[in-house]
């Protein structure tokens, strides 16, 4: 350990890992986006709004259940399901009629949805800052990296990311629905021709993707102040991660999120004023050398 | 038919020239904003509707044009006219650079790389407090005496917009414009008959960047402020919405779309804070029922009527 500390001071290491735990949330949101983009080919701008709705729902649920131990876990279950319900209604009511349209139309349609969702959030929850308490068992710090305190909640986040990745991988590679979805991503007409109801497969994939956005919203809620407009920056970041990693590729999304998070936390250390510029720069460099993303995309 | 169009055009110009005489200050300001947004949307349509390029982040050129003009006016002692030229030139240079970088990618990837590069520019502007004023932007920009009154600003906007729209019309109907539309419809075939596809597209992006920059410099004249939100991606999507609403296969469509959206935003905002909700619902309606936009819909209708009468005869 001492060798590592002589190379990188523990303070910086600690900061990098805090940055990485934020990356986890980016990854969870981006993987949902990637799934939808890869299989349904919808550039879902409303994804960020669903993430915001997830965070606000987490606020309400923790409020209802009080400060008790169960509140956060209830939020972790209820909020993503609520977001999934919204997305199911939107998909069955609107999106399913427009799969044949070009990307630009779908982009604008989802943008229209993000405007509507944004204002509905304002209508329901109001414009004030909301805060969600860190659950009791994750409160406090543990000494890590040469004795520097490291927040326990961020350790939880660092574990949650890989768990979601593995679950998602199992879903797309080991289950029947995942295999059908991957086949439909390549050739949806052929999948329909062998007698599979592609429309419902798409609906399920869409709902799962949006559920991940809601999950990301719940996980981020205790670390930031929940507010309107939290979707605007996130959605662009999530899109860039997906594009950087390769459309529809979960591991690509993970790699993209890692690059994004690390460049961001290093950037802030090196040059605080322009820290937010570095991840964008990383995306540009990656796309210049690998125009279709780092890993293989589904289409 | 052509005579009628000309008549409408002249009537429209006379009306636009007379507006400040009888309209109150607020409406003149609103008209200026509509005109410059119309120019912005039309400049996007050069590449979007006629070029078939997914320019997702057009606002960045608008913002850079505005910032270029504003910075020239506040930080240097050069004549103001130079500022109004430099702003658009910087924007078109940026359009050229982004074009070279992005053009090798196709469709969605192009748009996404452009959004990331545009966000890079936005992040720099947003953070560079000492130079661009950061998230506050720049206020109280010194405007030449002649343009500082709202009527002066209106006439300036009107003249510049009219000239630019005329130029864009000429460009679209030039051989270059035809080649661009050919590329949109079939890039492979265009390449085969000897059109340099990439060079045409980059040139189109540069031209679009220039006119967006002009719109930005007009905003400086009308509003005397610049702020980083002018480069944010949500504005880009709003411009796309203007094009879609008016109809991006008609020349004046984006102008109409800009007029409808800016006017609607102003009037809806006086009644409710939920303007985005109204816009979103309107958008969903347009995408479902008017995929060719308002002008596109009417053109189709009239064509049908016209064709129908012809068949009868």
pLDDT digits (tens, 9 = 90+) for A158-175: 888 889 989 988 988 888
Question: A50 falls in which pLDDT band (50, 70, 90)?
Answer: very high
- Segment (H or E) for A203: helix A198-220
Side-chain half-sphere exposure of A271, counting CA atoms within 13 A? 11
For the cut 80, the answer to whether the pLDDT of residue A146 exceeds it is no
Q: Which of B52, B108, B185 to mutate to test the interface with A (most CBs of A within 10 A)?
A: B108
- Spell out, as residue ranges, where chain B has pLDDT lower than 70: 1-2, 304-313
Distance (Å, rounded) from C-alpha B69 to C-alpha B216? 8
* Partner A contacted by B56 (CB < 8 A): yes
Return all residues near A207 (Cβ < 8 A) that are at least 6 apart.
Answer: A84, A87, A88, A91
pLDDT over 90, % of chain A? 16
What is the mean pLDDT of the segment spanning A268-290?
A: 83
Contact A104 B127 (CB under 8 A): no
Contact B284 A109 (CB under 8 A): yes
Distance (Å, rounded) from C-alpha A35 to C-alpha A31? 6
Contact A103 B54 (CB under 8 A): yes
User: What pLDDT does residue A85 have?
Assistant: 93
Residue indicated by tokens 């979805």: A181
Distance (Å, rounded) from C-alpha B236 to C-alpha B55? 9
> What are the pLDDT digits (tens) for B87-136?
999 999 999 999 888 888 777 778 888 888 888 888 888 888 888 877 88
For A194-229, letters b (16+ CB in 10 Å) and e give eebebeebbbbbbbbbbbbbbbbbbbbbbbeebbbe
> What are the pLDDT digits (tens) for B16-47?
887 777 778 888 888 899 999 999 999 999 99
Return all residues near B198 (Cβ < 8 A) that are at least 6 apart.
Answer: B103, B104
Residue of B nearest to A96 (CA): B288
What is the mean pLDDT of the segment spanning A255-265?
A: 87
Question: A81 falls in which pLDDT band (50, 70, 90)?
Answer: very high
**Looking at A9-94, which runs of residues are DSSP E strands?**
none
> What are the pLDDT digits (tens) for A167-226?
988 988 888 888 888 888 888 888 888 888 888 888 999 999 999 999 999 998 888 888
Instruction: Give me the helices (H) in A134-197, please.
Output: 152-174, 176-186, 188-193
Of residues B103, B102, B128, B133, the one with CA closest to residue B116: B102
DSSP state of A134: P
Residue with the larger pLDDT of the pair B155 and A103 = B155
The number of C-beta contacts closer than 8 angstroms across A and B is 115
Residues in A closer than 8 angstroms to B284, CB to CB, are 94, 109, 112-113, 116
Selecting from A103, A113, A291 the residue whose C-beta is nearest the C-beta of B280 gives: A113
User: What pLDDT does residue A1 have?
Assistant: 61
The separation between the first and the last C-alpha atoms of chain B, rounded to the nearest angstrom, is 20
Return all residues near A162 (Cβ < 8 A) that are at least 6 apart.
Answer: none
Distance (Å, rounded) from C-alpha A54 to C-alpha A213? 7
Selecting from B109, B124, B284 the residue whose C-beta is nearest the C-beta of A112 gives: B284
A10-39 and A198-220 helices, crossing angle to 10°: 160
Tokens representing residue A189 in the block = 């007409």
Cβ atoms A65, A208 nearer than 8 A: no
SS3 at position A286: helix
Return all residues near B12 (Cβ < 8 A) that are at least 6 apart.
Answer: none
Tokens representing residue A127 in the block = 């414009």
What is the mean pLDDT of the segment spanning A73-87?
A: 90
Side-chain half-sphere exposure of B223, counting CA atoms within 13 A? 24
* Partner A contacted by B6 (CB < 8 A): no
Of residues B225, B8, B7, B255, the one with CA closest to residue B133: B225
ipTM of the complex: 0.84
Of residues B42, B70, B63, B166, the one with CA closest to residue B118: B63
Q: What are the Cα distances from residue B286, in Å, to B5, B47, B54, B59?
A: 27, 22, 19, 22
| SS3 assignment for A221-245 | CCCCCECCCHHHHHHHHHHHHHHHH
SS3 at position B57: coil
Distance (Å, rounded) from C-alpha B192 to C-alpha A285? 32
* Partner A contacted by B119 (CB < 8 A): yes
With left for phi above 0 and alpha for psi between -120 and 50, is residue B106 left, alpha or beta? Answer: beta
A69-93 and A198-220 helices, crossing angle to 10°: 150
DSSP state of B228: G
Boundaries of every domain in chain B: 23-232
Side-chain half-sphere exposure of A117, counting CA atoms within 13 A? 26
User: What pLDDT does residue B309 have?
Assistant: 47
* Partner A contacted by B281 (CB < 8 A): yes
């Amino acid at each position: 350990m001492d060798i590592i500390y002589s190379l990188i001071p523990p303070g910086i290491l600690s900061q990098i890992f805090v940055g990485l735990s934020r990356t986890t949330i980016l990854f969870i949101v981006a993987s949902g986006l990637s799934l939808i983009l890869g299989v349904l080919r919808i550039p879902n701008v409303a994804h960020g709004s669903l993430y915001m709705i997830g965070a606000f729902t987490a606020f309400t649920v923790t409020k209802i259940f009080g400060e008790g131990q169960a509140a956060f876990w209830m939020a972790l279950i209820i909020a993503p399901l609520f977001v999934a319900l919204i997305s199911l209604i939107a998909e069955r009511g609107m999106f399913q009629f427009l799969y044949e349209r070009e990307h630009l139309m779908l982009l604008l349609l989802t943008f229209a949805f993000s405007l509507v969702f944004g204002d509905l959030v304002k209508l329901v929850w109001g414009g004030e800052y909301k805060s969600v308490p860190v659950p009791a068992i994750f409160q406090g710090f543990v000494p890590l990296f040469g004795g520097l305190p490291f927040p326990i909640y961020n350790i939880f986040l660092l574990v949650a990311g890989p768990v979601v990745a593995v679950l998602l991988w199992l879903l797309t590679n080991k289950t029947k629905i995942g295999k059908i979805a991957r086949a439909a991503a390549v050739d949806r007409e052929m999948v329909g021709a062998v007698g599979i109801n592609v429309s419902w497969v798409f609906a399920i994939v869409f709902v799962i993707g949006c559920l991940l956005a809601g999950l990301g919203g719940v996980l981020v809620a205790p670390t930031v102040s929940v507010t309107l407009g939290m979707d605007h920056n996130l959605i662009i970041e999530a899109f860039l991660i997906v594009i950087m990693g390769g459309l529809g590729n979960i591991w690509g999304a993970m790699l993209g999120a890692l690059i994004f998070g690390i460049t961001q936390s290093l950037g802030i250390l090196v040059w605080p004023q322009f820290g937010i510029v570095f991840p964008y720069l990383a995306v540009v460099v990656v796309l210049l050398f690998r125009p279709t993303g780092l890993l293989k995309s589904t289409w | 038919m052509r005579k009628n169009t000309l008549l409408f055009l002249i009537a429209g110009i006379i009306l636009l020239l007379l507006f400040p005489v009888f309209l109150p200050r607020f409406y003149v300001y609103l008209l200026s904003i509509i005109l410059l947004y119309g120019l912005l949307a039309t400049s996007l349509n050069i590449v979007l509707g006629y070029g078939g390029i997914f320019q997702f982040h057009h606002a960045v050129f608008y913002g850079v044009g505005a910032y270029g003009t504003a910075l020239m006016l506040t930080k240097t002692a050069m004549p103001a006219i130079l500022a109004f030229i430099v702003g658009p030139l910087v924007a078109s240079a940026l359009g050229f650079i982004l074009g070279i970088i992005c053009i090798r990618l196709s469709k969605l990837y192009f748009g996404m790389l452009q959004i990331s590069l545009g966000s890079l520019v936005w992040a720099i502007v947003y953070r560079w407090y000492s130079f661009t004023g950061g998230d506050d932007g720049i206020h109280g920009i010194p405007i030449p005496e002649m343009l500082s009154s709202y009527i002066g600003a209106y006439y300036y906007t009107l003249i510049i917009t009219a000239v630019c729209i005329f130029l864009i019309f000429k460009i679209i109907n030039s051989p270059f414009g035809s080649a661009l539309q050919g590329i949109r419809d079939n890039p492979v075939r265009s390449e085969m008959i000897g059109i340099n596809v990439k060079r045409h597209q980059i040139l189109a992006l540069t031209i679009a960047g220039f006119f967006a920059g002009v719109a930005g410099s007009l905003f400086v004249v009308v509003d005397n402020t610049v702020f980083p939100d002018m480069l944010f991606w949500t504005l880009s999507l709003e411009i796309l919405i203007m094009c879609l609403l008016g109809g991006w296969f008609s020349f004046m469509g984006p102008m109409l779309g800009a007029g409808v959206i800016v006017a609607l935003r102003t009037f809806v905002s006086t009644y409710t804070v939920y303007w985005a909700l109204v816009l979103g619902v309107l958008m969903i309606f347009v995408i479902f029922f008017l995929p060719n936009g308002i002008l596109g819909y009417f053109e189709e209708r009239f064509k049908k009527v016209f064709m129908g009468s012809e068949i009868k005869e």
